[in-house]
Structure 1
Amino acid sequence: MAYLTGLTKGGATWTPTFVEAIDEEKCIGCGRCFKSCARKVLGPLDLEDEESESIRMVMTIVAGDNCIGCAGCGVGCPKKCFSFKPMEV
């Protein structure tokens, strides 16, 4: 299986990992990932909790095709709710 690879400025091989999913159960809606993404891949989503009749915000993938595979969103996530995957070629 071959994956998409690139080169760093220094010439080292790099395999980007693209955002695949966000665990809504872990996400606290802090927005750190949203602020770290310059490609506008993520966006807020309001979830209704029927038991407590409250609404909580989580992040969701709104433009996954814009992801460049830097994984910056996951690096800044305090709850580690992101999953990533390299792209097969």
Structure 2
Amino acid sequence: MSFATRDGRDWTPNYLISIDAKKCIGCGRCFKVCGRDVMTLKGINEEGELVDLDDDEDDEIEKKVMILSDQGACIGCGACGRVCPTNCQTHVLATAEAA
């Protein structure tokens, strides 16, 4: 599989495939640089379950984390990984994913 930039230079996408909720601090930096709605912010309640932040359960939220909401929308630019202060994301090169 071959990829190229607009001017024809070789380029290999590096797709986001997972976010480690134990490392994620929910800062939102990755969300802000992603223009594709690949991730969304969720809360983790006392039982360790993911909950929407727009619920009226803010007092029960122990932690906020990013989760993949539309993994297929990722174009593999890697911007999210470059801004992550905790290195909680896992990316895979397009050639490895195709295998």
TM-score range, shorter chain: 0.7 to 0.9
Give the partner amino acid of 2:87: K
Displacement of 1:11: 2.4
Instruction: In structure 2, list runs of 5 or more residues that go unmatched.
Output: 48-59
Q: Deviations over 1:59-85 (max 9, x none)?
A: 000011110011111111000100011
| Equivalent in the alignment of 1:60 | 67
How many residues were matched structurally?
Answer: 84
TM-score, structure 1 length as denominator? 0.84
Corresponding residue for residue 69 of structure 1: 76
Query: Aligned equivalents of 1:25 and 1:15: distance in 2?
Result: 29
Output the CA distance in 1 between the equivalents of 2:42 and 2:70: 13
Instruction: Return the alpha-carbon distance in structure 2 between the equivalents of residues 65 and 11 of structure 1.
Output: 24
2:32 equivalent in structure 1: 35
Q: Deviations over 1:14-44 (max 9, x none)?
A: 1101111001111000000000100000001
Structure 1 unaligned regions, length at least 5: none
More helix by share: 2
> 4+ residue runs of structure 1 moved beyond 4 angstroms?
none
CA contact (8 A) 1:5 1:16 kept: no
In structure 2, give the amino acid aligned to 1:18. Answer: Y
| Larger strand fraction of residues | 1
